[in-house]
Chains A and B, each alone.
Chain A
Amino acid sequence: MSVARFLRSELSMVFRRRRNLALLVILALVPVLIATAVKFNGHPGRGGTILGGITDNGLFAALAGFLVVGPVFLPLVVAVVAGDSVAGEANTGTLRYLLVIPVGRTRLLGVKLAATAVWCVACVAAVALTGILAGLALFPSGELTLLSGRVISYADGLGRLVLVLLYVAAMVLSVAAIGMFVSTMTEVPNAAIAATLTLTIVSEVADAVPQLSAIHGWLPSHYWLQWFDLLRDPIITTNITTGLLVTLGYVAFFSSMAWARFSNKDVTS
């Protein structure tokens, strides 16, 4: 499969790049840092909150990791890869050689977006993994109490964690799609990265302004923390579904914009 081969090549470009690996490592250290701080700070947490739950069950270290990296750091690492995707190739001049080798423009964007999506999952999974391990090392790992008060087994807890992981990864796909679109508009990767992160922060700021409540539901970042609902019993799906649909809308819109922009763009780099 030729697309699979190109995707593998693209993934190795993303995952072997030192800058990206450094970001991944820092990201993975966040839950370790939180768990260590909670362990040695000595304050027993209150049940029913994410951070407070860590002392009850180490699995909450992973969830606390999501909570901490969610607003800025995770969008940043996604923006770095997405913003770099096309602009980076244009900047090194390799874009023109890819296009004449030839790779179709649509195919190039598709593979770039797919690789960025894999990157999103990998970033969130890295947080989850080190969170689980740090939790196992420092805290109890038996049954855990959900936010709604019900007690479930550790295995069920892991299942919930995987659902949260997938939801968080899906949420940052909107950042990936915005980043990809911005990346088709410039030959300067850092500009694309900065613009993507700026748009993300604008969305989060707008989400925090009560006077703008009318548009809150349409902001890409509005549902990012909705994974709390996955930790209730039964799971409340209404907002989760809306969040996924809004994200899907953003991904569809910005991917199409990226395609529309890139498919008839003059490549003069």
Chain B
Amino acid sequence: MPAAIASEGLTKRFGQVNAVDGIDLDVPAGSVYGFLGPNGSGKTTTIRVLLGLVFPTAGSHSLLGTTTPKALGRVGALVEGPAFHPYLSGAANLARLDAANRAADSRTAKRRIAASLERVGLTAAAAKRYRHYSLGMRQRLGIAAALLQPRELLVLDEPTNGLDPQGTREVRGLIAELAGDGVTVFLSSHLLSEVEQLCSHVGVMSVGRLVWQGRLADLRAQREPSIVVETATPQKAADVLNASGLHDVSVSDGHVRARLGEAEPERIVAALVYGGVGVRAFGVEQPSLEEQFVGLTGEGFDVSG
């Protein structure tokens, strides 16, 4: 089975800036792929290139094993927020998009539009003008547009942006449901909890480069635990930890931290006690996905790069 999305050395230069800088994407068919990165790291540009809206400066890419123009009929997409004609109703906007799709069957249009609206919970607002929609409703209509046809790949750019907690839950449920039906989902997001909940794979972008890609489980396996010692004599504890061969020992108001590495926590505690350190509390901490993310991108989340 070909990869749902594959790219080699994909590059997009705007003027002097490489917005996307030689990325090799590999999105396995059937996966839910979380595309992570700070704002301005090139996620949306990558999505635009993949969907054929923007032409790459260098490199190649394929969707569903073929070229973008050939694959687009089997791809549903939400790109950089929803956009519809403000004076048309939700249903009329979908009818407009469906009419433009050369592969769409006009005889089934009404039924498909109704089913799409139903699926995102917009049936009651179908006849309402788009300009009166709330941000959450607009987002849902964007997803409805992506679902007008049966799709094999969904490219969703921040699909829960602007949704209330209830709507966020519903949309995540919908994505999980679609993924359960075998649809590959390429989900760009800056919400780490969302990615942790939904995704089987992740790719992490930083300043136009793909700095990590693979199974989420593998990323989690890579994390390095650290230890925290709470004591009245932190300097003494730090000396013991250094002597035990631990790295990155740091002291801050009564807490001593260090990377655990290959050492066994039990032995560290024993060494501390043997070294005369009064241990008040001892813990092993797993870094959160956020900490891993910051480790990879080298900057705070949501900071433009």
CB within 8 Å of B: which residues of A? 2-3, 5-6, 8-9, 13, 17, 92-94, 96-104, 107-108, 264, 266-268
Measured CA separation A103–B51 after assembly (Å):
12
Report B-chain residues with C-beta under 8 Å of the C-beta of A104.
69, 102
Q: Mostly helix, strand, loop or mixed at chain A's interface?
A: helix
* Complex: chain A residue closest to B19, CB-CB: A268
* B99:A5 contact, CB within 8 angstroms: yes
A102-B72 contact given A9-B99, A9-B100, A96-B83, CB 8 Å threshold: yes
Measured CA separation A239–B233 after assembly (Å):
103
A102-B69 contact given A94-B85, A96-B79, CB 8 Å threshold: yes
Measured CA separation A102–B72 after assembly (Å):
6
The number of residue pairs between A and B whose CB atoms lie closer than 8 Å in the complex comes to: 82
Measured CA separation A94–B97 after assembly (Å):
9
* A6:B100 contact, CB within 8 angstroms: yes
* A6:B97 contact, CB within 8 angstroms: no
Task: Encode B35-72 as 1/0 by CB contact (under 8 A) with A.
Answer: 00000000000001001111100000000000001001
A93-B77 contact given A5-B99, A104-B69, A268-B48, CB 8 Å threshold: no
CB within 8 Å of A: which residues of B? 48, 51-55, 69, 72-73, 75, 77, 79-81, 83-87, 95-104, 106, 145, 148
Q: From residue A219, how far is it (CB to closest CB) to chain B in Å? A: 36
* B99:A6 contact, CB within 8 angstroms: yes
Measured CA separation A104–B73 after assembly (Å):
11
* Complex: chain B residue closest to A102, CB-CB: B72
* A266:B54 contact, CB within 8 angstroms: yes
Report B-chain residues with C-beta under 8 Å of the C-beta of A267.
48, 53-54
* B96:A13 contact, CB within 8 angstroms: yes
* B55:A98 contact, CB within 8 angstroms: no
* Complex: chain A residue closest to B145, CB-CB: A97
Report A-chain residues with C-beta under 8 Å of the C-beta of B69.
102, 104
* Most interface-central of B83, B98, B101 (chain A CB within 10 A): B83
Report B-chain residues with C-beta under 8 Å of the C-beta of A94.
83-85
* A102:B101 contact, CB within 8 angstroms: yes
Measured CA separation A242–B294 after assembly (Å):
69
Q: From residue A18, how far is it (CB to closest CB) to chain B in Å? A: 8
4 nearest A-B pairs in the assembled complex, by CB-CB distance? A93-B83, A9-B99, A102-B72, A103-B100
Measured CA separation A33–B89 after assembly (Å):
37
Measured CA separation A6–B106 after assembly (Å):
10
Measured CA separation A93–B78 after assembly (Å):
12
Report B-chain residues with C-beta under 8 Å of the C-beta of A100.
51-53, 72, 75, 77, 79
**Contacting A101 at CB < 8 Å: which of B54, B55, B81, B101?**
B101
* B85:A13 contact, CB within 8 angstroms: yes
Measured CA separation A266–B52 after assembly (Å):
9
Measured CA separation A108–B102 after assembly (Å):
11
* Most interface-central of A2, A8, A100, A268 (chain B CB within 10 A): A100
Measured CA separation A5–B96 after assembly (Å):
9
Report B-chain residues with C-beta under 8 Å of the C-beta of A108.
100
Report A-chain residues with C-beta under 8 Å of the C-beta of B145.
97, 101
Report B-chain residues with C-beta under 8 Å of the C-beta of A99.
51-53
Report A-chain residues with C-beta under 8 Å of the C-beta of B100.
6, 9, 98, 101, 103, 108
Known: A8-B99, A101-B101. 17 other contacts (CB 8 A): A2-B102, A5-B106, A9-B96, A9-B99, A13-B85, A93-B81, A94-B84, A96-B48, A96-B79, A96-B83, A98-B100, A101-B98, A101-B100, A101-B148, A104-B102, A267-B54, A268-B53
Report A-chain residues with C-beta under 8 Å of the C-beta of B103.
2
* Complex: chain A residue closest to B53, CB-CB: A267
Report A-chain residues with C-beta under 8 Å of the C-beta of B84.
92, 94, 97
* Complex: chain B residue closest to A103, CB-CB: B100
